[in-house]
Amino acid sequence: MQMINTQRLGERFKMFAQIDSESRSEFEISRVIEKILTDLGASVCFDNAAEKVGGDCSNLVAKFKGTKDVPPLFLSGHMDTVVPGKGVKVQFENGIFTSDGTTILGGDDKSALAIILEVMEVVKENNLPCPPVEIVFTVCEEIGLLGAKHFDLSLMDSKFGYILDSTDTKGIVTRAPSANDIIIKVYGRSAHAGAAPEKGISAIFVAATAIASLELGRIDAVTTCNLGTISGGMATNIIPEYVEIHGEARSHNLEKLKQVTDNIASGFETAAAGLRKEGQEFPRVEIEVAQDFPNTNIPEDHLAITLARKAADNLGRKLESKTTGGGADANIFFGKGIVAGVLGTGMTDVHTLKESISLSDMENTAHLILEILKVHGEGDTAL
């Protein structure tokens, strides 16, 4: 087994974690990464996603020509973090990285950046045979997969690859749900709450009536829905004339996704109709539904899966197919015809101040990626 430089991997992760890169502010870390990749001999470019996502940085694409005449594969992670991600101070004790407790750590997804770069370092310094590799580091993943949604596919030749953006180092995510964004606008009529409440129509009451009629949370094994935010009203002495609710529905089954989305819409429409007096316009509702991301469903016999399993077997490990309820850049790529298995780096308690990751987990993932490159470079497409 080729040796991963564990110390370098850890030091690079720490450096990345301490570079501020909350969503829409990835410029600084992207330039650090660009230099590393250029020094490794990659050709590096950026697409024009920045103007589309309203950020200071676009998606980064790096290409290594490789030494083997096999189809290219891509490796990917995202450069942005959630908040609070400014001024991260990394702590390292007993092989575990954490923050100082005042910010997130950023293992999601800077562990991916460090691992991928370490693998390419090892390939270069050991002059290892390698397939063509394309690296895609996206922006604004944490605020709606925006970088992937606006990624310029013409910059990439790969049709399959791996995204490092999961916890489980013993699994590969092959199935993830499709999701709909749902915006519900409820219109009532304002009036003085003390002097003439009977002249008003409370949009909050309409919304509450509708919400009380709905089944929310886990609908079945593959379907969930949630109403996440609600805003409206102006003052306690004014009957609220407007309320806006934002929610989502997710399912691995597209028919069930449509059904649960329709049920939410129907619940609000029915509530408004039931409270509307004959001949009146209000209350009324407007409902907007848009796909947030498509589903992922990778066949078990796809090269991305068989290749990763073969590599894991070579290392004496087992790699299980996993189903998740979350969305990732992989969903967006899958919807564009690019297959991406999602691999874990060991990050835990992500998006919290208790986030942590072990150096050994990152090292193990680096070995797996290195072995994937080796096996693919051997060109055994039958596997």
How many angstroms separate the CA atoms of 161 and 341, rounded? 7
- CA of 156: how far to CAs of 53, 67, 135, 165, 307, in Å? 20, 18, 9, 20, 20
CB of 366 within 8 A of CB of 197? no
Residue 109 annotated among the catalytic residues of the structure: no
Single out the catalytic residue among 26, 109, 134, 141: 141
Give the dihedral sign, CA 249/253/254/255: negative
How many angstroms separate the CA atoms of 6 and 30, rounded? 23
Residue 28 annotated among the catalytic residues of the structure: no
How many angstroms separate the CA atoms of 36 and 218, rounded? 44
Q: Which of 114, 99, 104 is nearest to 33 (CA)?
A: 114
Contacts of residue 150, defined as CB under 8 A and 6 or more positions apart, other chains included, come to 47, 49, 52, 53, 59
- CA of 363: how far to CAs of 2, 42, 118, 234, 290, in Å? 12, 23, 9, 54, 40
What residues does 266 pair with on adjacent strands? none
Question: What is the set of active-site residues?
Answer: 80, 141
